[in-house]
Amino acid sequence: MTGGHTPRSRRRTAALALASALLALSACNGPAGSGEGAATPLPVASEPVPLGPWRLVLDEEFDGTALDTSRWATCYDWNRDGCTNSGNNELQWYLPQQVSVRGGELTLTAQRHDTRGSDGKTYPWRSGMVSTGRDQWYGEPRRTFTYGYVEASVRIPAEAGMFPAFWMMPASRFTPPEIDIMEFLGSTSTVHMYVHWIEPDGERARQRGTFGPADFSGRFHVYGVLWEPYALVWYVDGVERLRVTNPERIPDVPMEVLLNLAVGVPEAPPAAVDEARMQVDWVRVWQH
């Protein structure tokens, strides 16, 4: 994919081939990796193949002209006329009007615009996010997942100061644990991958992998994580980039899927940047 919308037949073929490869992958216990060394490519099939025990349980193509709000919320669980992630000191206030669907793609738009949040603070940016979680704290999540293969085709913005992410948080609304399938922190050429957990002594801990340099803003790339009880394996464009096999570090709770375009982590955008867009072609979740 080079930035245009890929016909569904081609995307479906690629997804079926990947699911078959995952079936073979999940049956083996490969060596643990740090994410910094050589990568092992997945097998590639040119035609659709049987899925075996894998089932496609979420297949979001973003067809139509509006977000399917039966599948997606546009804020965190603490939504009150919008929201933000104050724990990261982010600069944006998330609003539903910053989320749009057109031409088979989801677009999250960040704009420099002073926005008064319901927390009483004024944020210099407004932006968009989607989640399979709740509309509000006491609501019910739309969809949660425990184990499986989670993937999305995403084109990140080229503008500096943006913090695009594709990740998973517990349906309990408290983190860690947390699985960051992809994050871009201060650079569009290096993708970061994390798992966060709590140690037996109560201390927070994390393991990180990175991959780059690459031109991630120049076209769509596919980011995925295989989440099994015995392993977490991250992929970028079908190639393994990080593997975690310590069971104490692997979440075992229902989790929500999120995509967001945060602003100002680790640094604020330069004065010349007033707008940025994160595009999502599709999101899928496979489970046994």
**Residue 3 falls inside a structural domain:** no
pLDDT digits (tens, 9 = 90+) for 183-224: 999 999 999 999 999 999 999 999 999 999 999 999 999 999
Q: Mean pLDDT lowest for which of 46-55, 237-246, 257-266?
A: 46-55
Name the average pLDDT for the chain: 86
Q: So what's the pLDDT on residue 18?
A: 54
Interior CA angle at 59 toward 158 and 211, to 5°? 35
Q: Which domain holds residue 267?
A: 8-287
Query: What is the per-residue DSSP string for 118-170?
Result: TTS-EEEEEE-EEESS-SSTTS--S--BSSEEEEEEEE---STTEEEEEEEEE
pLDDT digits (tens, 9 = 90+) for 140-193: 999 999 999 999 999 999 999 999 999 999 999 889 999 999 999 999 999 999
pLDDT digits (tens, 9 = 90+) for 244-258: 999 999 999 999 999
Contact 287, 110 (CB under 8 A): no
**Spatial CA neighbour of 19 closest among 226, 182, 167, 179:** 226
Please report the beta strands in 158-220, taking only residues with DSSP state E, as ranges in sequence order: 162-170, 178-183, 191-198, 204-211
Residue 20: CB atoms within 10 A of its CB come to 19
**Residue 221 falls inside a structural domain:** yes
Supply 245's token pair.
């096999």
**Residue 102 falls inside a structural domain:** yes
Count of the separate structural domains present in the chain:
1
**Residue 2 falls inside a structural domain:** no
Contact 126, 195 (CB under 8 A): no
Q: So what's the pLDDT on residue 174?
A: 86
Q: So what's the pLDDT on residue 51?
A: 41
Q: Is the pLDDT of residue 23 over 80?
A: no
Q: So what's the pLDDT on residue 127?
A: 98
Interior CA angle at 106 toward 165 and 152, to 5°? 50
Q: So what's the pLDDT on residue 52?
A: 53
**Residue 1 falls inside a structural domain:** no
- The CATH number of the domain holding residue 22 is 2.60.120.200
Rounded distance between C-alpha atoms, residue 205 and residue 272, angstroms: 37
Contact 110, 276 (CB under 8 A): yes
45 compared with 194, residue with greater pLDDT: 194
